[in-house]
Structure 1
Amino acid sequence: MKKDQEKVVLFSFYGRSGMWHYATQYSNALSKFKKVYLVCPTFADKEFLCNRVKILEINSSPSIKNFILDTLNIFQHLKLLIKIWKINPSSIHFLDNHPWSIIYALLLKMLGFKIIFTQHDPIQHSGEPRKHIQRIINRLQLIIGDYIVVPSNLFKEYIVKKWKVKEKKVVVYPHGHYAFFLKYKNKGVKEEENTILFFGRILKYKGLDLLLKSLLILKKEGYKFKLIIAGAGDLKPYKKLLEKIKENVEIHNRYIREEEIPHFFQRASIVALTYHDATQSGIIAIAYPFGKPVIATNVGSLPEFVIEGKTGYIVDKNPDEIAKAIKKILYSRSTREEMKNNCKKITYEILDWEKNLKKILYIYD
């Protein structure tokens, strides 16, 4: 049966946080060019989706117990497969590395559909709880997929050389901006002087230790600052460092809801991404629309998205270098204002979802 070239089915099984933000904005952008159907969990917040995107819901609970039951619910999976068969899209695109993606991809490939995967993390992070499972899923995706979408040229080169994948099979699509968070801005919240934001899940690879050591240097030199830590995760490994600058730290050690996110970015002067290792970062996609300069370590594809001296600084994984970069921005109002304007401008030049999609639409033909 000839496929409908105007239709594309996208999959996003996680339904919350960064993966869901990405899926909704990608779906919205692609719907400007194709008829888009998005498979997603019933619990996912559909508020971020435009009315052009047609939703196909499935039970995919975030709790382990219910997830096992959802996995064993053969009826719901069969029902979804029948729906997709009737839609008859040109392509099936999995936007994350959920374990179900492999099973669905194999079944849909046997039914004659083109399979596309987005790999956000071609190289797994240190300290990531699921990194061994992710590595296996990534490898299977390279075998099954007709196209693999990655966020930067760095990772295209890695996949082509490491796994001997044909170059034309790997497509670069930069992570788009999260300007949709601007609609949650609170007019009463203002930027707070000398405030650094460390935002997101607290995991070993995120390098909170590097940031704390750099701020300890600033404290010893007599500089005033405030650090806001906002995100879920284990802070015990950083207890001693936090104790040394406790009067300068504000901690929100929990999951941050979508409507709360702008509050923290509005208050910040700069955003710190002092990672030990990384592939990309959705934090930049939030920081730029809010006009917040970024200090990032020279890891993964971060240097491709931080324009040196324009939207922030790229530094080595060294507390002294991080401290120097912080001082350049935090204590110079003119530098911050210039970078603020640059960040907002870059949002719609480099990180525009639709503009970048036009370059890869051929993968759906």
Structure 2
Amino acid sequence: MTPNLAEFSVQLIYMRIAVFIKSTTFHVGFGGLETQNLVLCEGLVKAGNDVTIFSPQKELKIENSNLNGVKYVFVNCVNRTLFSSLNSESWLNKSYKSFLELHKVQPFDIVLSQSSAGIGVIKRKKDVGVKVVSVSHGSILSEFKTRISDASSVSDWVNIIKDLVFVLTIFFGRQRDFILNSNRVIAVSEFVKKVIIDETYVPKEWVEVIYNGINPLLFSSEYVKRENDFVNILYVGRVIKSKGIDIILESLSKMKNMDFFLNIVGEGNFTKNAKKLASKFGISQKVKFHGRLGLQEIIKLLYKNDIFVMPTRRVEGFPMTLVEAMFSGIPIIATKIGGVPEAVFDGETGFLIDNPNVSDFTAKLNTLINDKGQREVFGRNALNKAQNIFSAGKMVEKYVSVFKEVLNENS
């Protein structure tokens, strides 16, 4: 997954970097955040830096590891947020202790905190004389609003009420702590930048937008012309109602006489309901639920499909599945919400719908199903955009540039 050094244009300098994240690709059930952190850290190592990742041990039986030049420290700790500063076994305190042990032997130049994972060091950064750059992937308030709008049962509301104290603690405490006490904040999209400025009042000049990147070498550098007997449609992500799975199925039910096939990749609590809907709409024979797949399997599937869909109701920070689709040269239909419009260029690489509803989505999907030429134009444009904007090399280059700026600042 390591990016090609030929992509870098800035002058790279050696740095010793400590990265804090709550989970890694070693852990069970890892997702996009963990994968992106891996790509970033391996890219930083490839660029000549020394990188150590600190993460909770959780179910792992090992305390240390080294993979592709990236060093890992798995901290045996208690993963609680409330009153964590008072608990000597908490992630906040144990992660700082583990960091300090290595920092005293050979000082780190800079700390990178994925969201609030580095809060233990952030709170004490002046004491240890280290600067911190944090990455914001979104807002817990936006996530909570989505849960409220998506609630459909008594149990949903019970869980929402139970989690309210935790959400408020994060919103008024942890989120503001890590953002306002970092030397610089990286937002994964312009949308996320606006949200955290509005919610924390962090000065806008402290926030830099860097899009997550993908290693282009995982994909073909040329547009692959698809020759399918059916128009294959793909969804990749969590199978939950707020992702718009019901919209996809109902829309396709209105086109059941067309030659299409829907592939759904992912797991979630809406899977059983989605299968029932497919049966109810009479399209079960045209839908396959693949479950959870690895990145390489997803890439292979992307090249077999003609249209990528994501009519999400959720406020998404920056969905990497859209970038993966772009690198495979596939047009996208998605909702104009959150950071999605920063990855889908309406009328150029696909279509954006203003509202996640069946009628608007059906109209755009019908257009692409019936127009192969348009699909190919959008697909070529998507690949070009991805290569120019969303490569891992460009991502690493921009992180290095931010690190250099922060290290050169006096405060």
User: What's the TM-score once normalised by structure 1's chain length?
Assistant: 0.81
Q: Is the 8 A contact 1:273 1:297 kept in 2?
A: yes
Secondary structure of the residue aligned to 1:127 is helix
Q: Is the 8 A contact 1:12 1:38 kept in 2?
A: no
Distance in 2 between residues matched to 1:192 and 1:181, nearest whole Å: 26
Match of 1:19 among 9, 23, 33: 33
Distance in 2 between residues matched to 1:230 and 1:69, nearest whole Å: 41
Residue 6 of structure 2 corresponds to which residue in structure 1?
none
Alignment-mate amino acid for residue 89 of structure 1: F
Q: Is the 8 A contact 2:77 2:94 kept in 1?
A: no
Distance in 1 between residues matched to 2:379 and 2:208, nearest whole Å: 31
Residue 124 of structure 1 corresponds to which residue in structure 2?
142
Quickly say closer, same or farther: Cα 1:295–1:102, change in 2 above 3 A. same
Q: Is the 8 A contact 1:196 1:271 kept in 2?
A: yes
Cα RMSD (Å): 3.5
Report matched runs for 1:240-259 at 5 Å.
240-243=276-279, 244=281, 245-253=283-291, 255-259=292-296
Residue 234 of structure 1 corresponds to which residue in structure 2?
269
Residue 260 of structure 1 corresponds to which residue in structure 2?
297
Match of 1:56 among 72, 75, 81: 72
C-alpha distance after superposition, 1:185-235 (max 9, x if no partner):
xx9x9866311111122234312122222222222xx32221111111112
Shift, 1:337, TM fit = 1.8
Shift, 1:169, TM fit = 1.1
Asked if 1:362 corresponds to 2:402, the answer is: yes
Aligned residues: 345
C-alpha distance after superposition, 1:291-314 (max 9, x if no partner):
111111010011111112221111
Q: Is the 8 A contact 1:289 1:343 kept in 2?
A: yes
Structure 1 gap ranges (5+): none
Quickly say closer, same or farther: Cα 1:60–1:331, change in 2 above 3 A. farther
Match of 1:292 among 320, 330, 335: 330
Q: Is the 8 A contact 1:93 1:117 kept in 2?
A: yes
The more displaced of 313-322 and 335-344 is 335-344
Distance in 2 between residues matched to 1:353 and 1:109, nearest whole Å: 31
Alignment-mate amino acid for residue 274 of structure 2: Y
Q: Is the 8 A contact 1:7 1:34 kept in 2?
A: no
Match of 2:19 among 1, 7, 10: 10
Match of 1:301 among 312, 335, 339: 339
The more displaced of 166-175 and 114-123 is 114-123
Q: Is the 8 A contact 1:177 1:352 kept in 2?
A: yes
Distance in 2 between residues matched to 1:348 and 1:117, nearest whole Å: 26
Shift, 1:50, TM fit = 8.1
Quickly say closer, same or farther: Cα 1:341–1:215, change in 2 above 3 A. same
C-alpha distance after superposition, 1:103-133 (max 9, x if no partner):
3432445312111111111353223988827
Distance in 2 between residues matched to 1:329 and 1:229, nearest whole Å: 18
Q: Is the 8 A contact 1:117 1:149 kept in 2?
A: yes
Distance in 2 between residues matched to 1:286 and 1:8, nearest whole Å: 27
Quickly say closer, same or farther: Cα 1:167–1:320, change in 2 above 3 A. same
Secondary structure of the residue aligned to 1:165 is coil
Quickly say closer, same or farther: Cα 1:285–1:70, change in 2 above 3 A. farther
User: What's the TM-score once normalised by structure 2's chain length?
Assistant: 0.73
